[in-house]
Amino acid sequence: MKLIGISGSLVGWKTNVLIHEVLTAAKTYDENIETELIDLRDYDVEFVQGSPLAYYNEDTFKVVNKILSADFLVIGSPIYQASISGALKNLLDHLPIDAFKGKVTGMVTTAGSANHFLVSEYQLKPILSYFKGIVPTTSVFSNDDSFNEVNEIIDPNVSDRIQKLAEEMIHLQKGLNGKNS
């Protein structure tokens, strides 16, 4: 099984760190899982204009196809103005309506304060459901207080939620695939 993590941040590292930690936890839980991190800052994903995917640049085509080829995904975004990042929303706008059908789609969000902890539930979760993704009950939210000055996670509750999310995603996806967990 291939688990792809998407870091929907173009600046800062906290979202990237959380996604990386979920991927690492998944590999620790099941060493046979193949993981890949798509960091949107590494790609020139073009702005959606309503054209078929083949009309966009190579990076856009590559990222969308990597996502579509994944068995399951963990999607992360910083919260800006009580919303997911524009870069992540733009990427999601490139996907077909059934992009996540039969795929577990975990959520990770970061914010400057705890005031935005429900954005994943009220904004990101409906988008993932629209794409027919199966959203686990566990998600990971962290704020600036969860990290030290070099962007290492220092909050044990965040680390625990990362482990629980990885485990739940694997169990759900194996169940969907008809495999024993």
* Residue-range domains of the chain with CATH: 2-177 (3.40.50.360)
pLDDT in tens, 47-77: 999 999 999 999 999 999 999 999 999 999 9
Q: Using DSSP bridges, classify how beta strands 34-39 and 140-143 pair: parallel, antiparallel or unpaired.
A: unpaired
Whole-number percent of the chain with pLDDT over 70: 98
Tokens for 57, please give them: 């640049």
pLDDT at position 179 is 61
pLDDT in tens, 1-59: 999 999 999 888 999 999 999 999 999 999 999 999 999 999 999 999 999 999 999 99
In this predicted structure, the answer to whether residue 180 has a pLDDT above a threshold of 70 is no
Specify the pTM.
0.93
Question: 138-163 burial string, b = 16+ CB within 10 Å, else e?
Answer: bbbbbbeebbeeeeebeeeebbebbb
Instruction: Calculate mean pLDDT across residues 92-101.
Output: 97
